[in-house]
Structure 1
Amino acid sequence: MTTQLQHVFDYDDLLTDTEREWQAKARAFARERIAPVIEDDFERAHFRRELIGLLGQQGFLGMHLSGYGCAGTGAVAYGLVCLELEAADSGWRTFVSVQGSLAMSAIHKYGSEAQKQTWLPRMARGEAVGCFALTEAQGGSDPAAMMTTARRDGDDWVLDGTKRWIGLASIADVAVVWATTPDGVRGFLVPTDTPGFTATPITGKLAMRASIQCDVVLDGVRLAGDAILPGANGLSGPFGCLNEARFGIVWGAMGAARSCLEAALERSTARSVFGKPIGQHQLTQAKLADMLVEYEKGVLLAHRLGRLKERGALTPAQISVGKLNNVREALEIAHTTRAILAGDGITNEWPVMRHAANLEAVRTYEGTDDIHALVIGRALTGLAAFA
């Protein structure tokens, strides 16, 4: 595709020079390194591992964290990078989220100094990969029901249980594993070469095919006593990391939406029916206008959340508004674009069906629409309705 979307709002005027530089760098990386190969990778369900070190060289891994080799950027700069990577493919924004917003954030927020020094510089460079093992097959949106346990055996910890849909687990060097203990939910750093740790990629996926998600088994995994994350107590530990990842999704979904809208614009001016370009027909222009309105609103919402985050004022309910709205509207933009492209819209000549499939997965992980609606409902009424 050659069409580039021009904002109706002068959005760039809201950004600093540094933020524009990060966005430009991410856009160039996505278009030069990911876009030329992503359709083939998606078709073959191939994860291009050689890009990990290159992402590290660009400074994208854990870029919102400070110290330990991390770039220490603001939230908006990080969000813009997520947007540009997901404009190429959701799987690569997911990689950056799992590595930086989940695994690295858990170590940065809750780890000991020794744990931070051991892992964070290597992860920032892309020399080590992390995963975040919270979700279980029987729990899903109810992590309080997790059945993975950690028990004391002398000075050691022994972990047993299973996890599902764990991104990157089969290529990770370290897993942040959440387990129940007599003192509540705690986090543990598990080197993935520890006996009893097994990660098996999930096959048969029709979305996120250029990404890796796994089933994980922990069978008598024995860890030293200092493997525990000392700063994480209870479910507030993993939830603090999930909110970091959800923030990135708010931005990333708009990248997928922009890619689809650009495809719709290109098709609307290049293809003619009834003697004129389809973009000259009123119905098509109405669709394009509706898509543009929702895209612009989504980007402005993401920007607002980013500025709140930089002030330390961002709430979970606000993140839920962003995730619920932006993923839902990105999917609607993908569906409308598919209709504008007609039959060709289901081919990999265009990125639209790939984005639509990926967004179905994005809509599910880090909180479904229903869960985020209930978070917002609780903020409105003061009443929890999760059970």
Structure 2
Amino acid sequence: MASEVKVPTLGESVTEATIGEWLKKPGDAVALDEPIASLETDKVAVEVPAPIAGIMGAYKAEVGETVEVGAVIAVIEEGQAQSGPEDTHLRKDEAEKASSAEEEIEALPSGEEGGDASTTLSPAVRRAVLEHGVDPTTIKGTGKDGRLTKEDVIAAAKAKQSSPAPSASAPAPSPTPATAEGERVEERVKMTRLRQTIAKRLKGAQEEAALLTTFNDVDMTAVMEARAAYKDVFAKKHNIKLGFMSFFAKAACLALKDVPAVNARIDGDEIVYHKYVDLSVAVSAPNGLVVPVVRNVERMSFAEVEQAIADYGQKAKDGALTMQDMAGGTFTISNGGVFGSLMSTPIINPPQSAVLGLHRIEERPVAVNGEVVIRPMMYIALSYDHRIIDGREAVTALKIIKEAIEDPMRMLIDL
């Protein structure tokens, strides 16, 4: 008897998704609630669990196909997996439907029976494996359930390049086909649903909001000294590293309290002022930039902020963020400095009205008390919707953040 696998409820206002990848092939044994497919929604990837234990049956939808909530995408047969001719036939049929990239991956060594989950490759990982020419079965995955991430593949490729050349007595590896000199190569890859949504939202923000950015620079000396003095004790007590994000999150809370418009949004012909701070923190995920929300930051300690951000960062890397993790948010902090950015004009995350952009810290000569000294400086930027936030308010909010970072005591005594 077969059981249908249906697209689960995906979250509020989300009615459809795209088949991102199949995690099980027809003929594979599946356990109850074991993930068999990954769906890409507008915000996150969602795994589809098996409704029963049994044998994976036929697919009812292909990778890249858009499916609605409740649609049947596969069937699972009751029983145990077999390795006889029927199973072989199923696998052969499925392999014939696979894309050329997937066929190349399948041709790689498959590893030992019962190995880790790193043999289940996402589209991004498959592309990275092909691009860098590494064997995925020799790489230990750091993602969810031991799955490979794109970063794992890149790290393995770098390690392979830095390894010593084989000795003269060792057999030479088979030559890799090289691209002919002067050949113009193009690759066409369909945008993921997440990337399409990011594109639409950011373009919509530019078209609908009256965007403007104000800049300032911050002397990071005081925060860096505080961090250096207390990071070991902090880590020992709270089991989490003391980073810079918690300082900026708490500094932002001071600014949003004093300048409420920066923490507000437009709803029709009304302005909604939030009496709380739900902080959207932009983090990099395998499929693009995502912004999970740390709620009620104004009530949190530095350790709680750091822990929440670290947890979201790991979930983003593992592809485990949920719709609830992404919902809401009243203000955003985006840290381009981790990628080396010196200065940028971040785009607001609708329906929010402002976003704080952080950048890299670098030593620069500055004038202090009439003398030129070298200080660790950071440019900070506040992009805002001029329809709701006046220039004076934006500049004031950014100045409050600057003063709190340069004198962290302000955050303790609420100045």
TM-score after normalising by structure 1: 0.25
Higher helix share: 1
Between the two structures, name the one with larger relative contact order (CA 8 Å, sep ≥ 6): 1
Report the structure, 1 or 2, having the larger strand content. 2
Structure having the higher Rg: 2
